[in-house]
Amino acid sequence: MGDETTHRKVALVTGANKGIGRGVAEHLAGLGMTVLIGARDRGRGEEAAAALSAAGHDAHAVTLDVTDRAGVREAAKLIEERFGHLDVLINNAGITGSGQVSPQDAHDQIPSSVDLDMVRAVFETNVFGVIAVTNAMVPLLRRSPAPRVVNVSSHAASLTLTSDPDGPLAALLPSAAYAPSKSAVTALTVQYANELRKDGVLVNAVAPGYVDTDSNNHTGHLTVAQGAATVVRLATLGADGPTAGFFGEQGPVPW
């Protein structure tokens, strides 16, 4: 682990060309970090990085499709060669599986009639993508004096909240794809936190809230900046910060 006084912090945000990911990237860049904009589409990633650079920040595009194993390994190799380490990993890339429809309105995810191919596609991005990217980046994170991993989850991942017929999420339609994929992300978060605790890597999951983004056809009531704030807080935790936690804007989210 390097000397924190001269250490230039490098952060990778997946799915960072728009939405919450872009908001997180902008905030981290504003804190003086070198920000790597992970995006499936090279052009969109470069546009987002150029916008941050034009605002005086140190930003670079990294072509990264989390479902492309070889591409993930190439991205890790590029980061190693260019920067030598990684301080912050934000696993933000994700899909609802229902096009431009929010999980609240995703009738095609009703468990008894769901298309298994759609479920597999959602898990490929939301779960297996998190594993692929995290595993590729762990060696680089171990070179950081204060490594942080934040997995973007959802309140819909909470078994406590979603199983309560009178609770705040009672209006959500039953989901066999998006919600279970995010529950798997929170479970993975705990397992990675337990493994990496001895290395000083703090690993947490975050529920940004119902944010106004493309994924819900802009029906969310929180701004991107509001949704990004909790993610950034967990990405910049001090050494005494929590690990293996699940947090929202108001504090811990029940499992």
- Kindly list the catalytic residues: 178, 182
181 closest CA partner among 250, 93, 65, 73: 93
- Sign of the C-alpha dihedral computed for residues 212, 34, 70 and 182 taken in this order: negative
How far, in Å, CA of 166 to CA of 169, rounded? 8
End-to-end CA distance of the chain: 33
109: amino acid identity, one letter = Q
20-40 burial by CB neighbour count: b if 16+ within 10 A, else e?
bbbbbbbbbbeeebbbbbbbb
How far, in Å, CA of 188 to CA of 181, rounded? 10
Burial class (CB in 10 A: 0-12, 13-18, 19+), 7: middle
The DSSP output letter for 249 is T
How far, in Å, CA of 108 to CA of 70, rounded? 31
